[in-house]
Amino acid sequence: MLARWKSVAALCAATAVSSALLAQGPVASAAPGGCPDLYVVAVPGTWETSKEDPGRGILAQAAEGLPGDVRVDYIHYAATAFPWEGEVYGRSKAEAVDGARGAVQAMALACGDTKIALLGYSQGADAAGDVAAEIGTGLTVVPANRVALVGLVSDPRRSPTDALIGAPVSGAGATGARVNGFGWVSPVTYTFCIEGDLYCAMPDGDFAGRLAGFAVQLSNPDPSKVGSYQYQAGELLSDAFAAGGWGLLADQLNSNAYDERKQQVDDFLKSGIHQSYAGYSVAPGGVTALGWLRQRLVQVLRG
């Protein structure tokens, strides 16, 4: 019994580390009015924005100053990951999802010919990706053909099957892939991830980390997604048993393993990998991830 409680305590500690892992972190929107040719909804990352101190973050490098008739809105939300900041990750992300979903639906209903783009970084990619997936699988009033581009930078829900721009990376998103993918918006959805960025490239064999990431998802559970949660939990446990079962999990959840994990996460956060996307080259000529998204937005405008 004592060993079991130690494992539970270790998982709770791992969850706290994962919450820290899923947190990272400048402010304008184009003036409203009329129906633009392109509407860009950008969801900044954690600590790049808040409801009290709105910021644009690194996505502004892709979305600002585009040629033509463009409106850009940044979704400001609590953008926290630690309970002592007033919100847990799940509630913070839910605010971002609700904000992005509402903005997209309002524009789609008001302007029938406006093309829509969704951009997100880090926790913002988690939220923007979920909204894109809802549209692509027919769960909103927005038709999938209205979405011209989805760009997700360091998506905590990245699947190995998502269209990755740049060098191949191992693992998958820290909080687990979206069960039904992106559906009809898959052809215009692109993800960016740097090897070693634990937000979007959690090692496959790190089951304690995957469990902690799943627990972060459940920090504000959506009753309508119970089936999805059950599927993800079953898949995770199935993978763990196939790799080594309870013994492997126990090894990854003991206090020594937790100390090692904490050091790995500390080293990762100090490395600056997660904050390096502005300079991350993904195409010939040194085109960066944000530069690539900007080029694609210009192509959308040009038809």
- List Cβ neighbours of 223 (8 Å cut-off, separation of 6 or more): none
Cβ atoms 258, 14 nearer than 8 A: yes
What are the structural domains of the chain?
2-302 (3.40.50.1820)
Confidence of residue 7 (pLDDT cuts 50, 70, 90): very low
Please state, in angstroms and as integers, the Cα–Cα distance from residue 134 to each residue in 80, 141, 163, 219, following that order: 23, 10, 18, 20
> Is residue 222's pLDDT more than 60?
yes
Q: What is the pLDDT of residue 28?
A: 33
Q: What is the pLDDT of residue 229?
A: 59
Q: What is the DSSP-derived secondary structure letter of residue 197?
A: -
User: What's the farthest any 2 CA atoms get from each other in the chain?
Assistant: 65
Lowest mean pLDDT, pick from 58-72, 196-210, 233-247 = 233-247
Q: Looking at the DSSP assignment, which residues form a beta bridge with residue 232?
A: none
Report which of residues 200 and 240 the model is more confident about. 200
Distance CA 41, CA 15 (A): 30
Q: Looking at the DSSP assignment, which residues form a beta bridge with residue 120?
A: 43, 152
Q: What is the pLDDT of residue 270?
A: 83
Task: Tell me if residue 33 falls in helix, strand or coil.
Answer: coil
pLDDT in tens, 244-300: 555 555 555 555 555 666 666 677 778 899 999 999 999 999 999 999 999 999 999
Q: What is the pLDDT of residue 288?
A: 98
Determine the average pLDDT of the residues in 35-46.
96
Confidence of residue 207 (pLDDT cuts 50, 70, 90): low
Confidence of residue 14 (pLDDT cuts 50, 70, 90): very low
Confidence of residue 91 (pLDDT cuts 50, 70, 90): confident
